[in-house]
A and B are shown apart, each in its own frame.
Chain A
Amino acid sequence: MANYKHIDLNYLNDLSLGSKDFMEDIINSFLKTTPGSIEKMKECLVKQDWQQIGGIAHKLKTSYSFMGMSDMVEVSKELQECGLKVKELEKIPALLDQMTTAYGLAEVELKEELSQLQS
Chain B
Amino acid sequence: MANTLIYLVDDDDLFLKTAVHNLSQNKSFTIKTFTTGEDVLKALSKKPDIIILDYFLDSEKPNAMTGIKVLQEIKQISPDVEVIMLSGQEDIDVAVNSVKYGAVDYVVKNKSAFIRVQNDIKRVTKNKDKEADQQNFRKFARTMIIFLILLVIFLIIYLIDNSIFGLIPQPGQKPPVEEIPVH
Q: Contact residues of A with B, CB < 8 Å? A: 11, 15-17, 19, 22, 25-26, 29-30, 33, 51-52, 55-56, 58-59, 61-63, 65-66, 77
Interface size on B, residues (CB 8 A): 21
Least Cβ–Cβ distance between B20 and chain A, in angstroms: 10
Q: Are A17 and B21 in contact (CB under 8 A)?
A: yes
Q: Are A33 and B21 in contact (CB under 8 A)?
A: no
Q: Contact residues of B with A, CB < 8 Å? A: 11-15, 17-18, 21-22, 25, 56, 58-60, 62, 88-89, 109-111, 114
Name A's interface SS.
helix
A77, B108: Cα distance in complex, Å: 14
Least Cβ–Cβ distance between B41 and chain A, in angstroms: 21
Kindly identify which residue among A25, A51, A59, A65 contacts B17, using a CB–CB cutoff of 8 Å: A25
Q: Are B11 and A26 in contact (CB under 8 A)?
A: no
Q: Are B88 and A15 in contact (CB under 8 A)?
A: no
Task: Point out the residues of chain A lying under 8 angstroms from B60, CB to CB.
Answer: 52, 55-56, 59
Q: Are A59 and B11 in contact (CB under 8 A)?
A: yes
Task: Point out the residues of chain B lying under 8 angstroms from A77, CB to CB.
Answer: 89
Q: Are B14 and A30 in contact (CB under 8 A)?
A: yes
Kindly identify which residue among A19, A52, A62, A65 contacts B21, using a CB–CB cutoff of 8 Å: A19
The answer to whether A16 and B21 touch (CB under 8 A), given A52-B60, A56-B59, A59-B59, is yes
Task: Point out the residues of chain B lying under 8 angstroms from A15, CB to CB.
Answer: 18, 21-22, 114
